[in-house]
Amino acid sequence: MTTNPPVRRLADWPDGRLRELADEHGTPLYVIDPDRIRENADRLGTAFPEAEVSYALKANTNRAVLDTVEQCGLGAECASAGEVQRAIDAGFSGDRIRYTAVNPPARDLDHVVELARGHEFVTTIGALDTLDRLRDRDFAGHICVRVNPGVGAGHHAKVTTGDAPQFGIPYDRVPDVCTSIRTEMPAVDLVGLHAHAGSGISGDDLSAHRELVRRMAELGRQVGGLDFVAVGGGFGVPYDPEEPPLDLDAVAAATREAFDRCNAQLAIEPGRYLVADSGVLLTTVTAVKPTPETPVVGVDAGMTTLLRPALYGAVHEIHSLAPDGDARPSRSCLLAGPICETADVLDRNRSLPDPRYGDVLAVGNAGAYGYEMASQYNSRPRPAVVSLAGDRIARRETISDLTRLER
């Protein structure tokens, strides 16, 4: 059974403290609560006691986040040489790191092969020629094969990976590929299989998750002699306040049942589930423009701060932190950021206590794929990140940072 609340909604954050942080550090500002990451890690560990749980770094690579995850004893699933380096720097030992190479650039392989000599982590290949490229670099070590399971799931087609051809070796070819690795490549040790259905799995699409796990267990039995079979991450969190939280015990039960009779260890690699509700984004109202239809409310966080609404049409919970908000009438508004793109809209129809210039708004579930996908487009410096306790865990970029890399 789970031991702590399965979701932290925006209303559970301390408004007064968020206002203080906005005053002290300015906005846009990401606020991260490491305690919530620990609670999420505990809940995963309780639901999946038999599994090796690795954090998918791509959700949030801030060093304070990685330190917290490392202290929780989880592993690190890395998508690039940069993420492997970050994991090592944060103290993850090689046996807790897995590098999942997706069409890896040569520079990534150079760096990773060098790191693997000292740290002996597992490298997951999604194409046979990646193995040839590793051998060209005298790679010797642990290999895992990424499978394209032909089963996808996710909150949006853009993040549904299990049936996308660019990820993994087609399911039916995997046994032969594993045989040739074992017979023709003595320097590498095949230790696992891996697949990932996609990101943002909700209670409704558990059937896809179950089918992926079933297929992977079958493959694990067929290939045999493996240390682990990884069935990916993708556990969703409710962005809509009305949506119930993912029933983690039900996901674990479905996984266990489908993984039946596979001798290898079950491995999972959630990103979003660990960090999404550990973070909020604070943004300030910079303009209120009456229009004949929905009034436009300008805010200082745009698609360069939080890309998810523009990229996926994602809808995040948004609250006003105005101290007198309860006394104001509600108004529907279009919340737009400061970027010269029509897509730069946080929400087209959001009801808020009559927004006024200077109000601070809080955006929920911003701990995953928020800061991580921020950019400097329109020459907007990236925001600061602070912990709920007030530690500055990433400084705000300045205008001079924008040209730091240029001659």
DSSP 8-state code for residue 246:
P
Interface with ligand LYS (CB under 6 A), residue from 40, 60, 124, 199: 199
Element (H, E) at 68: helix 63-71
Question: Residue 114 and residue 383: Cα distance in Å, rounded?
Answer: 33
**Contacts with ligand PLP, 48-67, as mask; x by CB under 6 A:** --------x--x--------
Under rule CB under 6 A, which residues in 324-383 are in contact with ligand LYS?
369
205 binds ligand PLP (CB under 6 A): no
Pairing of strands 384-387, 345-353: unpaired
Residue choice 200, 309, 353, 383 for contact with ligand LYS (CB under 6 A): 200
Is 271 labelled a binding residue? Answer: yes
Which alpha helices (DSSP H) does 244-379 contain, by range? Answer: 248-258, 272-275, 308-312
Query: Which one of ligand LYS, ligand PLP, none is in contact with 269 (Cβ closer than 5 to 8 A by kind)?
Result: ligand PLP
> What six digits make up the tokens of 364?
């929920």
Active site residue 144: no
Q: Which of 25, 43, 308, 316: binder of ligand LYS (CB under 6 A)?
A: 308
Q: Would you say 181 and 190 are in contact if contact means Cβ atoms under 8 Å apart? A: yes
Residue 308: contacted member of ligand PLP, ligand LYS, none (CB under 5 to 8 Å, by partner type): ligand LYS
State the pairing for strand pair 384-387/392-394: antiparallel
Smallest gap from residue 232 Cβ to ligand LYS (A): 9
Q: Measure the CA–CA gap between 319 and 344, rounded to whole angstroms.
A: 19
Residue-wise DSSP of 206-238: HHHHHHHHHHHHHHHHHH-S-SEEE----B---
Residue 234 annotated as part of some ligand binding site: yes
For residue 108, give Cα distances in angstroms to 31, 117, 163, 379: 31, 14, 25, 27
Which amino acid is it at 219?
L
Binding mask 209-238 for ligand PLP (x = CB under 6 A): -----------------------xxxx---
- Shortest distance, CB of residue 103 to ligand LYS, whole angstroms? 14
- Kindly state the smallest distance separating residue 195's Cβ from ligand LYS, in Å: 13
- Reduced to 3 states, what is the DSSP secondary structure of residue 350? strand
Binding string, residues 135-174; x marks residues near ligand LYS by CB under 6 A: ------------------------x-x-------------
SS (H, E, C) 139-158: CCEEEEEEEECCCCCCCCHH
CB burial of residue 211 (10 Å; 0-12, 13-18, 19+) = middle
Binding mask 245-284 for ligand PLP (x = CB under 6 A): ------------------------xxxxx-----------
Helix axes 174-184, 206-223, angle to 10 degrees: 40
Pick from 161, 305, 365, 387: which binds ligand PLP (CB under 6 A)?
A: 161
The amino acid occupying position 205 is D
Residue 196 touching ligand PLP (CB under 6 A): yes
Q: Which two tokens stand for residue 192?
A: 């696992």
Structure tokens at 180: 């040739």
Sequence ranges of the binding site for pyridoxal 5'-phosphate:
234, 269-272, 369
Sequence ranges of the binding site:
234, 269-272, 308, 312, 341, 369
Chain contacts with ligand PLP (rule: CB under 6 A): 56, 59, 77, 100, 159, 161, 196, 199-200, 232-235, 269-273
Catalytic residue numbers, as ranges: 340
Chain contacts with ligand LYS (rule: CB under 6 A): 58, 159, 161, 199-200, 308, 369
